């Protein structure tokens, strides 16, 4: 199946990527069971063959195994793809143990990630979560030095608040912010999107399909394994899944009119918001990958976008996206 995806530029950075990227976290982290490595290498190759040039990973995913997977899979066409990875967590005995954006740790993560990714430069290096103990100017300054040394091309931030982004950007231009944004997580519209527009920063949106909910395949009876990340999130309780079905009904109605799927409409809606927004849906299945890529060719009319927007105004999403403890590490 030959599909070519248009390219988008992430803000003023000049960094050009496919309009839809691939979030690789679920291949080895958060959503077990994980497929065999060989299968995921085939999937990553299939993504590249179909026009995806933007791949997202992090030291934390695994930890470490996700970067190793991408390093091996993308080696044959490394020069033709953009790999984003992240620093900023403290990892103890293979588990997340708080945040750590100390300059020494940033440098150490960069060196180790370069090895695992089998590359001599990280295209986009995100601070995974803001570290309240380290001035953001020190973080941006450290990445600026890594850019000067040729080890990193672009600086990114994830889930940072507006003031933090502005302060970091003054030291080293931020190429992209990566945060959650979708039809059911629209908080970035209040403060973040206007700021990104003002500063010329791209917006890479994770969980654009609401961790699977917006595909329309979940209901109150959906069960998650105890080691599935979603099992602890307020928005995935049976009550919340039931209450939020109203959003899926709206999506399905528009999807039927466009001869598309709910997931494709959810992604097309994001692409229609701004020309510098790039969603990175994750999947471990080829048919889902092809479905997601198909969203890049769906144009929503202003009427359809307006219909979605006004309907969203009537719908109150039930359940917080994270637990209170998890929310403490985000600046949104």
Q: What does the DSSP assignment read for 128-178? A: SS--TTS-HHHHHHHHHHHHHTTSEEEEEEES--HHHHHHHHHHS-EEEEE
Query: Is 215:261 a contact under the CB 8 Å cutoff?
Result: yes
CA distance readout (Å), 272 to 19, 79, 110, 128, 298: 11, 29, 34, 26, 10
Q: What is the pLDDT along the chain (332 residues), one digit of tens a residue?
A: 455 799 999 999 999 999 999 999 999 999 999 999 999 999 999 999 999 999 999 999 999 999 999 999 999 999 999 999 999 999 999 999 999 999 999 999 999 999 999 999 999 999 999 999 999 999 999 999 999 999 999 999 999 999 999 999 999 999 999 999 999 999 999 999 999 999 999 999 999 999 999 999 999 999 999 999 999 999 999 999 999 999 999 899 999 999 999 999 999 999 999 999 999 999 999 999 999 999 999 999 888 888 898 888 888 999 999 998 888 877 64
Cα 91 to Cα 100: distance, rounded to the nearest angstrom? 9
| CA atoms in the 13 A half-sphere facing the CB of 227 | 6
Cα 129 to Cα 136: distance, rounded to the nearest angstrom? 11
Cα 94 to Cα 88: distance, rounded to the nearest angstrom? 15
What per-residue string of b and e applies to 53-68 under the rule 16 or more CB within 10 Å gives b?
bbbbbbbbbbbbbbbb
Report if pTM > 0.85.
Answer: yes
CA distance readout (Å), 270 to 13, 180, 275: 20, 11, 9
Nearest CA among 186, 236, 246, 247 for reference residue 211: 236
Cα 137 to Cα 197: distance, rounded to the nearest angstrom? 21
Domain 7-209+270-298 grouped into CATH 3.20.20.100: yes
Q: Report the catalytic residues.
A: 61
């Amino acid at each position: 199946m030959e599909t070519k995806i248009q390219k988008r530029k992430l803000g003023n950075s000049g960094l050009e990527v496919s309009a839809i990227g691939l979030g690789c976290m679920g291949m080895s982290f958060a959503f077990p069971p994980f497929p065999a490595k060989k299968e995921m290498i085939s999937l990553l190759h299939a993504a590249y063959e179909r026009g995806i040039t933007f791949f997202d990973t992090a030291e934390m995913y695994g930890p470490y195994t996700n970067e190793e997977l991408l390093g091996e899979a993308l080696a044959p066409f490394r020069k033709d793809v953009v790999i984003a990875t992240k620093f900023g967590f403290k990892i103890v005995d293979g588990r997340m143990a708080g945040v750590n954006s100390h300059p020494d740790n940033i440098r150490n993560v960069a060196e180790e990630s370069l090895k695992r990714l089998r590359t001599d430069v990280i295209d986009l290096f995100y601070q995974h979560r803001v570290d309240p103990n380290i001035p953001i100017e020190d973080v941006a300054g450290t990445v600026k030095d890594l850019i000067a040394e040729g080890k990193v091309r672009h600086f990114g931030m994830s889930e940072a608040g507006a003031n933090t982004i502005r302060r970091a950007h003054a030291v080293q231009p931020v190429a992209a912010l990566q945060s959650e944004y979708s039809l059911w997580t629209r908080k970035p519209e209040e403060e973040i999107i206007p700021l990104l527009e003002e500063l010329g920063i791209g917006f890479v949106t994770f969980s654009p399909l609401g961790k699977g909910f917006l595909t329309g395949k979940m209901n109150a009876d959906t069960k998650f394994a105890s080691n599935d990340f979603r099992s602890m999130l307020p928005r995935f309780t049976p009550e919340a899944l039931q209450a939020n079905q109203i959003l899926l009904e709206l999506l399905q109605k528009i999807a039927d009119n466009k001869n598309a799927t709910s997931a494709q409409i959810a992604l097309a809606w994001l692409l229609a918001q701004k020309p510098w927004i790039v969603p990175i849906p994750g999947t471990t299945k080829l048919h889902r990958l092809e479905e997601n890529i198909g969203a890049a060719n769906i144009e929503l009319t202003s009427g359809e976008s307006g219909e979605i927007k006004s309907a969203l105004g009537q719908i109150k999403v039930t359940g917080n996206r994270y637990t209170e403890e998890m929310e403490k590490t985000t600046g949104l």
